[in-house]
Structure formats: C-alpha cells, structure tokens
Amino acid sequence: MDNIRKAEESIIPQEVTEGFEIAGTIVRVEKLGNGHINKTVRITYNDGGVLSEYVFQRINTKVFKMPRELMDNVVRVTEHIRRKTALAGGDAERATIHFIKAKDGGYLYIDGSGEYWRAYTFLGRCTSYEKVERVEDFEKAGIALGRFQKLLSDFPADKLYETIPNFHNTVSRVNDFKKIVAADPAGRKSGCEEEIRFVLDRIGYAGIVLDAIAAGEVPVRVTHNDTKLNNVLMDDVTGDVLCLIDLDTVMPGSALYDFGDSIRFGASSAAEDEPDLSLVNFVPELYDAYKKGYLAEVGDVLTEKEIELLPLSSILLTYECGMRFLGDYIDGDNYFSISRPGHNLDRARTQFKLVSDMEKYFGINA
Ligand code: ADP
Ligand code: GN1
Ligand code: MG
C-alpha cells in the first residue's frame, strides 16, 4: 500500500472511493470542515493530468435517520437550483453542489460497516468563513440566503421529506429539554441551574413562528435549516458569494428559521463556543448588513408578517440552539461533537448571552 492509500484508508475506506463514478487516481486525501455532525473528506483525483476535487461525506445516521429521503431532497433541490441558474444565464456548476452517482446508479454508497456515504463536487477557489471578517461579507451571506430562498420559492415544499421531524419546532425542543433535565442522566444539572432557568424563563418564545404558520400568516417554504456562516461559500477571486452548502437539513419550514439561524451565528462578535463571555456580543451593524442583503434578494417574496418577525426569529433560533447545546450537555454530550469537557455548556452560554443582548437591542421579552 503506498502512502496516499495509507492516508486515505485512515480517513475513508477504499471501497467507498471506488463506489462512485469518478475517473482517475487519487492523489490527495484530507479532512474538511468544522461541522458538528458529519464526517467530511476532500479527495483530489488525477485523470490523465487533469486534477479534480470531490467531497466525500459520511452521513451521521444517528442524526439523519432517513438517509435515502435526505439524498432525494438534496438531489432534487440542487437540480432545481442548477436548472434555474442556467436558464437565467448564470454559472450553474458553481451555483450549488453537484452530487455524483454511485456505481449502482443511486447517490449513496453503503460501506461494509453499514455507514452511508455520498460524494459531490468540491467547488474550488472559494472559502467558508467561521467568523465574519468584514461587514460587507455578511451582507453577501444575506444575499446567498435570499437567493437560495428565491430560487426555491417555486419548488413545492410539500414534495420534500421531513427528514428530521420537528427540527425547528421549538415547542417540541422545549419538551425534549424538560425531559432531559428531569432525567439528568449525566448528573450535570446542578452545575448549570442558572442556564436551565434562563431557558425556562423564556418558554414564551417557543410557539411564535409555529403559531404564525398555524394562523396562515407565515407560509411553509423550502428552507435550509442550518444557515450558519460556515455553510456559505464565498468566491476567492470575485469576492462574491457562491452558494449555500450543507444541504442535509433542507426541508419544508419557515424562512424565519433560516434568517434567525444566520443571525445567531454570524451577528456575534465571537465564535459560537467562546468560553470568555465578555467577548461575546450581538453586533447590530452585522444584523443590519445581513438583513439588507437578504431582503434585497427575497424581500419581494416574503410576507409582511415574515418581515415583521425577523428580529424575533433571531432571538428564537439563538434561544433554540442554546437550549439544544445545554440539553446535550446535560444529556452527556451525545449529539454535537465536542473537543473539550464543557464544550456544549460554553456553546449554550454564548447563545444565551446573545439572546440577552438581542432582547435589549430589539426591546423584546418572552
Ligand atoms: P458539516 O456537516 O461537517 O458542517 P459541510 O457540508 O458544511 O459539513 O462541509 C464542511 C466544510 O467543508 C464546509 O464548511 C466547507 O468549508 C467545506 N466544503 C464542503 N463542501 C464543499 C464544496 N462542495 N466546495 C467547497 N468546500 C466545501
Ligand atoms: C449542527 O452539522 P452542523 O455543524 O452544520 C446542527 C445545527 C446547529 C449547529 C450549531 C443536523 O450543524 O442544527 O445549528 O450544529 N445540525 C444538525 O452549530 O443538528
Ligand atoms: Mg457545515
């Protein structure tokens, strides 16, 4: 076995790379990304002197329990984006990721250990950022989401599978949270009473978007559901936004989930897991920039109620994510991958700091 094969085998089984319709020989294998859920690998192939790069991803089936339906969703949504971009004269190949067929004709390869893998084109000359470096870039991230939602505004949301039921159903998330707190399986509850109280004091937020949907004021649309900044690709050459990636949670949902989740992650002065809370602040300038870019693209599609709820959705999604981090901490860290003890608690605390800041800034209370 040569060195490349050895490096590859430690990251991704050989049968997986051989399971997809990709020509050429492998010349480089490396891990990619900072996601909390999937395992992502970039592989470079040399086909007759032409180098091309692909992403291989192992789907975490503890989280994504319907991998076939998930692939069906993402393949149809990316085809739609490509088709509409091409019709508008745009660069369809860089407007979204392009899934590669497995040798059995589907889009999944199941390895000997029962793990599910898929492969797609790596979009070169682009970067995903962990933190906003310039305000203008966050405005561009807003453009990316607005464009994504607009391109999919004529895609029938009810034709997508709900691959993780109730993903942004904050009411059901609160119920899950209460159950974890009551069970306290890792004996951690006593060390985070203040944070638990923070969640329980704000249960009033949980039904806001669900109620607006039930009242017919907010429509169900095709949504991404995980719009944090590191899922936005920026073109290194033009400096413009390329597209949204990490499409696994594309499902029927509310546009507000996507807006709020972007603000949660990007309109902060610090990383999602910054342990020093004095460094964590909501940055109104970033909120305004994102909203400007977003509305410039999709403002004409959204309802009045959706636009009115943008500030509340930012609080709601930050609250929900903080509650999920805290719930996972109390549960013993079974969902989000961690790289240090207390990592999920640190993450929860940053989210709650941002919620407090936003409540003050927008003058909103649960
Ligand atoms: P995760 O579930 O781990 O967040 P992602 O699909 O977001 O997985 O991929 C992780 C990282 O890999 C991204 O943040 C991005 O930096 C990079 N990446 C993933 N897919 C591509 C792609 N097609 N082109 C360029 N970079 C990519
Ligand atoms: C997870 O996979 P990743 O890291 O992009 C999570 C999101 C959270 C996010 C918090 C399927 O996203 O919902 O907002 O972590 N994805 C899933 O960083 O649960
Ligand atoms: Mg990601």
What pLDDT is attached to residue 11?
A: 84
pLDDT at position 28 over 80: yes
Ligand 3 center–CA 231 separation, angstroms:
5
pLDDT at position 192 over 70: yes
User: How much is the average pLDDT of 197-219?
Assistant: 97
Residue 271 Cβ < 6 Å to ligand 2: no
pLDDT at position 7 over 90: no
What pLDDT is attached to residue 34?
A: 76
pLDDT at position 1 over 50: no
180/174 Cα distance (integer angstroms): 10
User: How much is the average pLDDT of 120-143?
Assistant: 95
pLDDT bin (cut points 50, 70, 90) of residue 36 is confident
Report the first-to-last Cα separation within the chain, whole angstroms. 60
Phi, psi of 210 (to 5 degrees): -60, -40
CATH number at 239 reads 3.90.1200.10
User: How much is the average pLDDT of 128-133?
Assistant: 93
Residue 213 lies in a domain: yes
197/107 same-domain check: no
Percent of the chain with pLDDT over 70: 98
173/302 same-domain check: yes
Ligand 1 atom 1, closest CA: 35
pLDDT at position 216 over 80: yes
142/119 same-domain check: no
pLDDT digits (tens, 9 = 90+) for 255-273: 999 999 999 999 999 999 9
Look over the chain and give the mean of its residue pLDDT values, rounded to a whole number: 95
Residue 232 lies in a domain: yes
pLDDT bin (cut points 50, 70, 90) of residue 226 is very high
Beta bridge partners of 223: 251
pTM of the model: 0.94
Residue 236 lies in a domain: yes
Ligand 2 center–CA 169 separation, angstroms:
15
What pLDDT is attached to residue 6?
A: 62
C-alpha distances (whole Å) from 136 to each of 47, 149, 150, 241, 287 are: 39, 20, 21, 11, 11
Ligand 1 atom, smallest distance to 36 CA: 3
CATH number at 17 reads 3.30.200
Q: What residue ranges line ligand 1, CB within 6 angstroms?
A: 32-33, 35, 37-38, 40, 55, 97, 120-123, 126, 128, 230-231, 233, 245-246
pLDDT bin (cut points 50, 70, 90) of residue 35 is confident
Q: Are 99 and 118 in contact (CB under 8 A)?
A: yes
Testing ligand 2's pocket by substitution, the residue of 32, 36, 344 carrying the most ligand atoms inside 8 A of its CB is 36
C-alpha distances (whole Å) from 45 to each of 28, 53, 177 are: 7, 6, 45
Residue 130 lies in a domain: no
319/202 same-domain check: yes
Domain count, the chain: 2
What pLDDT is attached to residue 2?
A: 60
In this structure, which ligand is nearest to the CA of 34?
1
205/345 same-domain check: yes
187/253 same-domain check: yes
In this structure, which ligand is nearest to the CA of 36?
2
Of the residues 124, 152, 170, the one at which a domain ends: 124
Domain with 65, as residue range(s), is: 2-124
Ligand 1 center–CA 2 separation, angstroms:
27
pLDDT at position 78 over 90: yes
256/153 same-domain check: yes
Of the residues 84, 103, 124, the one at which a domain ends: 124
User: How much is the average pLDDT of 16-38?
Assistant: 91
Q: What is the DSSP string of 277-295?
A: GGG--B-HHHHHHHHHHHH
User: How much is the average pLDDT of 59-78?
Assistant: 97
322/203 same-domain check: yes
pLDDT digits (tens, 9 = 90+) for 289-305: 999 999 999 999 999 99
For the sheet with 39-47, list strands across it.
25-31, 39-47, 50-59, 116-121, 109-110
User: How much is the average pLDDT of 269-293?
Assistant: 98
